[in-house]
Structure 1
Amino acid sequence: MSSHSRDADGQRELTRRSVLGGVAAAAGAAITGAGTLVASSRPAAAIDGDPAAFEAGDAPTVTSNDGRIESVYLSPTLNVSWTDFSERVERVTLTLAVGSDAGVDKVYRETLTAADPGATPGDVASVGGSDGAQSEAPPDFDTIDGSLTVRFERADATARGDAVTSETLSATDLSGGETDTTTLDVVFRADVAGGGDEATVVRTTTVDLTVENPAGDATAGGSVGVDAA
């Protein structure tokens, strides 16, 4: 491998790290790992579930003779748990951001509170306790060790900001037979607070969107859907 190739690969890796850090910053935290990020040894928080799993598979490809990706849909369902709080939990703030080399957009940011545990603010479709988001019982914030499950409404990430858009994801100048790939970083953050205690957890995933312009006269179109596992 030439020194030029190594330098180019190194620059791309630096760009990806910078973007991933930017996504986390948009969600309100710096990333130190893909699993859990804890504010201190006590209390602690965790997220169970993948913030985004593509319906089309791990490496979706959009085939189109005009090289366009019209939309990227997300509808995450996640379980957030907390342990070792000294008192009841007062609020849980949930944030999901999506980023690429073009920048970072915040897709969801909602706060659930002990004052109204059954509320479904903004983009929250349903919220439940340990039995899941479909449970009729609201989450119990009055426990030092607890959890809740949240399901968000389906949202088009390309319509939530100016960075991750149809224009920045598309490759309209592709020649026949060429492909172009954009890597999206998806970051989900949960902030749990109560009684003077706070804990933060960050979960990340990275997915590639590939646009292919088929050779010849073939034409096709479509959009890429993202749904939580």
Structure 2
Amino acid sequence: MSDHSRNGGSSESVSRRSLIGSVAAVGGAALVGAGALTASSEPAAAVQGEPAAFEAGDAPTVTSNDGRIESVYLSPAVEVSWTDFSEGVERVTLTLAVGSDAGVDEVYRETLAATDPGATPGEVASVGRPDGEQSDGAADAPPDFSAVDGGLTARFERADATARGDAVTSETLSAADLSGGETDTTTLDVVFRADVAGGGDEATVVRTTTVDLTVENPAGDATAGGSVGVDAA
């Protein structure tokens, strides 16, 4: 399969592994403790929640007699937290990319800002305070960007990753040449990154997971076509 990348509008080819390596390097120690805040007096960030929030279920298989995967849907819900930002936070940029062996497509990149804390730019469906703070009428309240130790929850509109670039597409994921009874599996990397900045301080955290998409061509007759739903719980 021949994959190409679209990362921040660039069509430059980049390998899936090199992308993850470069993103993780920026995250540094934050990647090691991705599920919890880094114990430090320096500004830090974290992505809360289970990795399943970014997965396509349990080894999804598309069964078809033409070997096609028509779509891969994403609709992540993430909780980002920060600590030790003495002047609060000015902006939080959320990026999610999906890649196969030879290329990467950026599916989401949105920036939430303290100047309009309740705004839902682009494909952000909703933004609010973290789940732990959603009580006594705070469920609909915008996040408190001025907090030294704070956080937010963001939910994204459903998107088909195969329509976002030229790397992860129906063509590159499908296996039209499968013989009867054969299967073909493509491993997708899902990389989520949060960049938190405020008062001259910055912190980055990265979460990664892999999803195996398998196409099976049954030996007998079957209905052609299919889709893989990727929905955050």
* TM-score bracket for this pair, using the shorter chain length: 0.7 to 0.9
Cα shift at 1:48: 1.1
d(CA) in 2 for partners of 1:127 and 1:24? 29
Cα shift at 1:53: 2.6
Q: Any idea what the Cα deviations from partners look like across 1:135-192, whole Å, max 9, x if unmatched?
A: 2100000111001000000000000011000000000000000000000000000000
Q: Write the mapping of 1:1-229 to structure 2, written as runs, cut at 5 A.
A: 19-23=16-20, 25=22, 29=26, 33=31, 35-36=33-34, 42-49=42-49, 50=51, 51-54=53-56, 57-131=57-131, 135-229=139-233
Cα shift at 1:71: 0.2
Unaligned stretches of 5+ residues in structure 2: 1-14
Q: Secondary structure at the match of 2:151?
A: strand
Q: Any idea what the Cα deviations from partners look like across 1:21-42, whole Å, max 9, x if unmatched?
A: 314657994677464397x861
d(CA) in 1 for partners of 2:232 and 2:24? 18
Distance 1:72 1:41, change over 3 A: farther
Unaligned stretches of 5+ residues in structure 1: 1-17
Aligned 8 A contact 1:192 1:200 in 2: yes
Identity of aligned pairs, percent? 78
Distance 1:19 1:106, change over 3 A: same
Residues matched between the structures, number: 209
How does the TM-score come out when normalised to structure 1?
A: 0.84
d(CA) in 2 for partners of 1:224 and 1:34? 30
Aligned 8 A contact 1:24 1:187 in 2: no
Q: Secondary structure at the match of 1:20?
A: helix
Task: Tell me the C-alpha RMSD between the 2 structures.
Answer: 2.4
Q: Any idea what the Cα deviations from partners look like across 1:88-143, whole Å, max 9, x if unmatched?
A: 10000000000001300000000000000000000100000124799210000011
Aligned 8 A contact 2:55 2:210 in 1: no
